[in-house]
Amino acid sequence: MSKARYIEAKQKWAEKQKARGVTARTTASQDRLPPGQKLTEGFPVLDLGVQPQIALADWQLTLDGVVAQRVELNWDQFNALPQVEDVSDFHCVTTWSKYDCRWGGVAFTTLYELAQPKPEAQFVYFTSYDGYSTNVPLARCLDEDVLVATSFEGQPLSREHGGPARVIIPKLYAWKGAKFVNGISFLAEDKLGYWEVRGYSNTADPWTEDRYA
């Protein structure tokens, strides 16, 4: 089942990259803003009170769990992977949304391909340099707009917004996207992340205002 989603996502990424330049959403549909959200023009910063400083020479991303291939990527290796760009809307559970964020980096599907999760892997657990963590079903991570971003609006991702690299999962509330990411574990059993153990919803769907569990 995740195999089929993976192939579908790969195909959609290919189509989107082919149509580069028209990836931006051009029509602001009336139902674009999820219920209970307010549009913001700025870009608020939300963190745990620490913005870890990671030298690129020390940066590492580990892919592990129930995988055929445990992978450790340094900064150069990560940036040598195929790069994609995607424009998406950003919805924070604290009720602000930001439209048309242009992220660049590596598609989640590319990392999936590298690690080759086994069929029993159904969940993903992300960890970060600031001690943050969050969990997402694998199927949601295989959507064609999920990426590990290293750039925002064509510029290297700033530290306050999660640089060197952060996860973007546009269809879920933004706490599901780990800033300062350093680990992606593919798991057979779900494992709650930082906010999920503190009462935030596990599913985090902005369209059903699925904010708190």
CB 202 within 8 A of CB 149: no
What is the 8-class DSSP label of residue 81?
S
Of 2 and 97, nearer to ligand MTE (C-beta) is: 97
Q: Which does 4 bind (CB under 5 to 8 A by kind): Mo ion, ligand MTE, none?
A: none
Footprint (CB under 6 A) of ligand MTE, residues 89-128: 92, 128
The span from the CA of 99 to the CA of 40, in Å, is: 8
Of 84 and 157, nearer to Mo ion (C-beta) is: 157
Residue 192 lies near Mo ion (rule: CB under 5 A): no
| Helices and strands counted in the chain (H then E) | 4, 11
Considering only 71, 87, 92, 192, the residue that binds Mo ion (CB under 5 A) is: 92
CB 164 within 8 A of CB 59: yes
Q: How far is the CB of 43 from ligand MTE (least distance, A)?
A: 6
Footprint (CB under 6 A) of ligand MTE, residues 3-22: none
Token pair belonging to 198: 């503190």
Residue 44 lies near ligand MTE (rule: CB under 6 A): yes
CB 181 within 8 A of CB 148: yes
What is the 8-class DSSP label of residue 174?
G
Token pair belonging to 164: 């060197």
Q: How far is the CB of 19 from ligand MTE (least distance, A)?
A: 27
Residue matched to tokens 């708190």: 212
Q: How far is the CB of 166 from Mo ion (least distance, A)?
A: 13
* Stretch of 11-19, 29-37, 175-183, 205-213 contacting ligand MTE, by CB under 6 A: 175-183
CB 129 within 8 A of CB 180: yes
- List residues binding ligand MTE (CB under 6 A): 43-48, 92, 128, 130, 132, 161-162, 174-175, 177-180
The site for Mo ion (CB under 5 A) is made up of 46, 92-93, 175
